[in-house]
Structure 1
Amino acid sequence: MTTVEQDSPVVPETMTGIYLPGDSTTERRTVSVPTPGPGQLLVEVGAAGICGTDISYIYREYKTHRGIDGPAYRGVVSGHEPSGRVVAAGPNCARFTAGDRVIVYHIAGCGLCDNCRRGYYISCTADSRESYGWQRDGGNARYVLAEERTCVPLPEELSYIDGALIACGFGTAYEGLRRIGVSGEGDLLVVGLGPVGLAAGMIGRGMGARRVVGVELSEVRRTWADSLGIFDATVSPDEADALLTEMTGGAGFGFTIDASGSAPGRTTAVQHAAEWGHVSFIGEGGRFDTEVSDTLLHKQLTLHASWVTSLQAMSDLAHNLVAWGLRPEAVVSDRFSLDQAEEAFALAAGGSRGKVVFVSNSVR
């Protein structure tokens, strides 16, 4: 028997879920609203983001993940960036109850391996590992069935949109910046100003970086980034070598992070890192080739490769954002209802200015 508070809304028997056939379209299907089992929560989704990996590896073609053998999309309700309000808790739930506001970490790991015990469900290699929106139903529906162990509290000061952004992109950026120890002891260079790069700029500002500078190919995205007041300057890749050298007097940036996932972007992040600098790669896909001696060894660089974040770091980030007075929602350029899924995914795939999210007006 599930527990439902008296003031919880009546949960319908069916709902609409958004599926991705893999041919750059979306499909709406009527599905049953699930009943939470032991250790599970039924979460009414307040907001859910569209991630770049959804576009690259599912929306356009879902046969494989990153073009190699891997955890391909299994034809489930899409969306791995949900946040919302618990409406029902199954047996044996120990932390969350109906009415609690939560962020859903987007991987349900086995919970037993070393990576899971450290909170890095993303790196779980057990056969039972499932990603929301990839191998199990995700958040692009009115409700999502979530394992309680994958949920973290959403502070009252933050909106459901804030929570949806923390669920993936902001968590990914935070982990990459934590790895390189961003602080007021150096400037931060962010390469690639899509949603994750915007997140890196905002969080880097919160972590105290002296200056935050961005590099982005798209003029539309540079203009959007400039309007947010996050960056001290943004430049195009064509101007980057000259302008970044001028900004730092040739000394380079103490901290650099690549969110572009491109070979040129990674090269920019490495080449403009200062001596003894710290470089973080968080963008998926592509390759990286470099001359080693002068570029890496002689500059004494530390290079980190980071994949998403941990449950604990995601929870810490939510509280830090409140303390810093920062709202991830600021990077959202476009909001849609689930009824507009076709338009929303097309915009996200076509180069939106900032983040694209689904928002429910019924969740308070």
Structure 2
Amino acid sequence: MAGQSRKTKGAFLPGNSTVELRDVEIPAPGHGQVIIKVKSSTICGSDIRAIYHEHLGKGAEAYQNVVAGHEPCGQIVECGPGMKRFKEGDRVIVYHISGCGVCNDCRRGYMISCTSEHRAAYGWQRDGGMCEYLLADEKDLIYLPDQLTYTDGAQVACGFGTVYEGLEKIGISGNDQVLVTGLGPVGLAACMLSKALGASRVVGTDVSEERCKIAKEKGLVDEVFVSGPDALEKAMAASNGFGYEKAIDCSGNTHARQLCVRAARKWGKVALVGEGGTMELNPSPDMIHDQVTIYGSWVTSTWRMEELVERLVRWGIHPEDLVTHRFTLDQADKAYELMASGKCGKVAVVFDEEIK
């Protein structure tokens, strides 16, 4: 970046359902750090839930008035000293939590679970990807192969990585009918990955007609229905009355979570990845008598992200296919407003890419 201005624009979320573009200094990279020219940065539902409307996050989700965006992908344009693997010109995904690197969770690759005071998530406690340039630590980077686009890569760390972790915990194969509740971007990813992993049938549901329509039009589900008071009846009918070997909730809604558990087949497995909300169950009939297992799953690890990237290429699938709207950085306010409406698929803010 020699000779270039060290200032750029970044998007901030003041917590009143608006976006502010402010001048941002581009720092020089320190030891083991890089400057990434961001190519694509997608919007996550957790940004809407905990930051955009109101700063509700505590602890790991406490927003510290930094550049927003924890789903960035781009190309390294400057390296600090002490680099061990990556170099200028490399295409990279950013694992969105920068952990301390030395605790047990970090050493397992699960920096999401790091509880050190040194933990800082991009877009939450340190500057994120809604900016033309991003300072990142080398340890947080995942290589992006040429077969994947930058908008593919932007979704890997959070949305697709989160789903992949949950699906790996419950295990998906051709033996399984899979129920997906909540068809926002994470739920759509769950449908896409369930198909890639070989599920024999995927059924989806959401309270939003628009999102049900997206899932059907993109060929991600074998059957889809709008949730209502008769959701369990519809779900069971869609499984030919057998129930589901595997179910995954991506909504965070108690009724959707209950549906996953109650529509599960005997010995079924359920993964909960949707954040927030509650879940009311009657353990004996809902879980104990039918031997149902429920897994909680929070984001993923760096090693599993690398595995997912390799498999996306092998399967020939593209997370970018879930993007329904693209905006430029100066349109970030419209991008967040649309994402908050819940009437879309994935929303991306793109740099140096064609707006479709």
Asked if these proteins are the same fold (TM beyond 0.5), I'd say yes
Partner AA of 1:43 in structure 2: I
Partner of 1:53: 46
Question: What's the secondary structure of 2:278's corresponding residue?
Answer: coil
Partner of 1:176: 166
Contact 1:333–1:352 at 8 Å: present in 2 too? no
1:243 Cα deviation from its structure 2 partner = 2.4
Pair 1:122 & 2:112 matched: yes
Partner AA of 1:324 in structure 2: W
1:180 Cα deviation from its structure 2 partner = 0.3
Partner of 1:20: 13
Q: Distance in 1 between matches of 2:346 and 2:222?
A: 20
Contact 1:251–1:275 at 8 Å: present in 2 too? no
Partner of 2:265: 274
CA distance 1:95–1:201, change in 2 (3 Å): same
Contact 1:20–1:78 at 8 Å: present in 2 too? yes
Pair 1:132 & 2:122 matched: yes
Q: Please, which of 32, 35, 49 is the counterpart of residue 39 of structure 1?
A: 32
Matches of residues 309-320 of structure 1 in structure 2 within 5 Å?
309-320=300-311
Matches of residues 5-16 of structure 1 in structure 2 within 5 Å?
11-16=4-9
Partner of 2:283: 292
Q: Distance in 2 between matches of 1:269 and 1:262?
A: 11
Q: Please, which of 168, 186, 199 is the counterpart of residue 176 of structure 2?
A: 186
Q: Distance in 2 between matches of 1:287 and 1:222?
A: 23
Partner AA of 1:161 in structure 2: T
Q: Distance in 2 between matches of 1:118 and 1:234?
A: 37
Pair 1:147 & 2:140 matched: no
Matches of residues 173-322 of structure 1 in structure 2 within 5 Å?
173-238=163-228, 239-322=230-313
Q: Deviations over 1:253-279 (max 9, x none)?
A: 000000000100100110111111110
Q: Distance in 1 between matches of 2:98 and 2:9?
A: 23
Q: Please, which of 329, 333, 339 is the counterpart of residue 324 of structure 2?
A: 333
Q: Distance in 2 between matches of 1:187 and 1:326?
A: 20
CA distance 1:44–1:272, change in 2 (3 Å): same
Partner of 1:100: 90
Pair 1:346 & 2:352 matched: no
1:70 Cα deviation from its structure 2 partner = 5.3
Contact 2:267–2:291 at 8 Å: present in 1 too? yes
Partner AA of 1:323 in structure 2: R
Contact 2:188–2:215 at 8 Å: present in 1 too? yes
Q: Distance in 2 between matches of 1:70 and 1:86?
A: 27
Contact 1:106–1:167 at 8 Å: present in 2 too? yes
Question: What's the secondary structure of 2:335's corresponding residue?
Answer: helix
Instruction: Calculate the aligned-residue CA RMSD, in Å.
Output: 1.4
1:248 Cα deviation from its structure 2 partner = 2.3
Length-normalised TM-score, structure 2: 0.96
- Unaligned 5+ runs, structure 2: none
1:352 Cα deviation from its structure 2 partner = 3.1
Q: Deviations over 1:279-305 (max 9, x none)?
A: 000000011110111110111111100
Question: What's the secondary structure of 1:230's corresponding residue?
Answer: coil
Q: Deviations over 1:87-139 (max 9, x none)?
A: 01111111100000000000000001110000000000000000000100000
Partner AA of 2:218 in structure 1: L
Contact 1:81–1:106 at 8 Å: present in 2 too? yes
Q: Distance in 1 between matches of 2:128 and 2:178?
A: 34
Contact 1:176–1:306 at 8 Å: present in 2 too? yes
Q: Deviations over 1:6-64 (max 9, x none)?
A: xxx964311000011111101111111121100101110010011111111111111x4
Pair 1:162 & 2:152 matched: yes
Q: Distance in 2 between matches of 1:73 and 1:322?
A: 34
Contact 1:180–1:255 at 8 Å: present in 2 too? yes
Q: Distance in 1 between matches of 2:209 and 2:254?
A: 19
Partner AA of 1:109 in structure 2: G
Question: What's the secondary structure of 2:326's corresponding residue?
Answer: strand
CA distance 1:69–1:112, change in 2 (3 Å): closer
Contact 2:203–2:238 at 8 Å: present in 1 too? no
Question: What's the secondary structure of 2:39's corresponding residue?
Answer: strand
Question: What's the secondary structure of 2:305's corresponding residue?
Answer: helix
CA distance 1:156–1:11, change in 2 (3 Å): farther
Q: Distance in 2 between matches of 1:222 and 1:362?
A: 28
